[in-house]
Amino acid sequence: MPLLKPRKPSQLERDWDPTHFITVHNKTEHNILLELPTGYFRLDAGRTFRMMPDIAEIAQVKDLVAAGQVEIRR
């Protein structure tokens, strides 16, 4: 007996829509450890990730953007 029931796309909690996400890019040569409300997230050097837009409101992320270490694109 499987642990998880298969879901149909119409039953997913959130549909993937690129317009609902932002791109966060680490412009440095060093990994950055972000302290998010959901836990720690390591943003590796030179990597880009898609995240929810509310990450741009976190003080640490705002400071990194102001310092030019992280770039946020919509």
DSSP letters along 19-74, please? Answer: GG-EEEEE-SSS-EEEEETTEEEEE-TT-EEEE-GGGGGSHHHHHHHHTTSEEEE-
Mean pLDDT score across all residues of the chain: 87
- Range 29-38 average pLDDT: 95
Predicted TM-score (pTM) of the model is 0.75
13-17, 29-33, 48-52: the lowest-pLDDT one: 13-17
Question: Would you list the domain boundaries of the chain?
Answer: 19-73
- CATH architecture of the domain 19-73 equals 3-Layer(aba) Sandwich (3.40)
